[in-house]
């Protein structure tokens, strides 16, 4: 029986939610690889089915997520690629993910862009994925099952530019309220960039930080947050510009 392999890089846990929702439509034993924690070489078998989810960071899949996924190889293993974004722009992220999987010997049978609550600007796509999104994801899963049974690969053209948009370092500051920090060090252990010193969870090296939000999401005291003039200036303009609902898109 096929194993259902769930692979995701999900600092705010929304991409994980989409991958798990899609995977819930498949029968078979499962394995989970959370790329925030898993950073090793791994090979999958021909009979496996991999559901691979990445968030979109300024039109790309995250650099750390890409580096960790690059260590995973298939054996013509069937894969479904998901680029999950916050109702703004996908740009080249889905094309980048599909291309990387193919280069690593995965047989991509289908791909999707899905929408979730924006991880930085919390006024965008509130409550997504919602019931409508989940219904569409489940319908997509059924079509993926049909493609697996017919042994067909992805034929749809994936939008994007093969010369991917350059990685961008967002100018936003991340602050930690020392008065409510419990010094649990969860943020230190979860940070994929090692941007938070082992002995000082209050500090963040903004030159290393990718603004992925993992430290903000995991903090049990809500002590960490975006701050600074650049963030406060951008937030209302971004939320207004991206207020119109975008829908998931599916490629078979």
Cα–Cα distances in angstroms (integers) from residue 229 to residues 110, 209, 241, in the given order: 41, 18, 19
Domain ranges of the chain: 4-163+245-251, 173-227
Query: How do residues 123-173 score in pLDDT, each as one tens digit?
Result: 999 999 999 999 999 999 999 999 999 999 999 999 999 999 999 889 999
Q: Does domain 173-227 have CATH number 3.30.70.20?
A: yes
Intra-chain end-to-end CA distance of the chain, in Å: 23
Pick the CATH number of 4-163+245-251 from 3.90.800.10, 2.170.190.11, 1.10.274.10, 3.40.50.360: 3.40.50.360
DSSP H or E run through 250: strand 249-251
Q: Residues 101-112: pLDDT tens digits?
A: 999 999 999 999
Question: Model confidence over 57-106: pLDDT tens digits?
Answer: 999 999 999 999 999 999 999 999 999 999 999 999 999 999 999 999 99
Q: What is the pLDDT of residues 234-244, one digit of tens each?
A: 999 999 999 99
Distance CA 173, CA 211 (A): 9
Contact 52, 97 (CB under 8 A): yes
């Amino acid at each position: 029986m096929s194993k259902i392999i769930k692979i995701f890089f999900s600092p705010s846990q929304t991409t994980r939610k989409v991958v798990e929702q899609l995977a819930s439509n498949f029968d078979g034993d499962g394995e989970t690889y959370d790329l925030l924690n898993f950073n090793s070489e791994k090979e999958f078998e021909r009979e496996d089915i991999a559901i691979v989810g990445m968030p979109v960071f300024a039109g790309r899949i995250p650099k750390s997520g890409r580096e960790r996924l690059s260590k995973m190889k298939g054996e013509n293993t069937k894969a479904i690629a998901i680029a999950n974004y916050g109702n703004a722009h996908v740009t080249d992220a889905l094309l980048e993910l599909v291309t990387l999987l193919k280069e690593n010997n995965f047989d991509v049978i289908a791909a999707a862009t899905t929408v979730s609550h924006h991880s930085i600007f919390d006024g965008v796509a509130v409550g997504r994925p919602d019931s409508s999104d989940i219904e569409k994801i489940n319908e997509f899963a059924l079509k993926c099952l049909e493609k697996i049974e017919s042994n067909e690969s992805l034929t749809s053209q994936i939008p994007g530019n093969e010369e991917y948009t350059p990685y961008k370092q967002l100018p936003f500051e991340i602050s930690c309220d020392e008065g409510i920090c419990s010094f649990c060090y969860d943020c230190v252990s979860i940070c994929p960039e090692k941007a938070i010193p082992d002995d000082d969870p209050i500090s963040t090296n903004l030159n290393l930080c990718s603004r992925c939000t993992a430290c903000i999401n995991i903090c049990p005291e809500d002590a960490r947050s975006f701050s600074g003039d650049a963030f406060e200036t951008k937030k209302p303009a971004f939320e207004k510009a991206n207020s119109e609902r975008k829908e998931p898109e599916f490629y078979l």
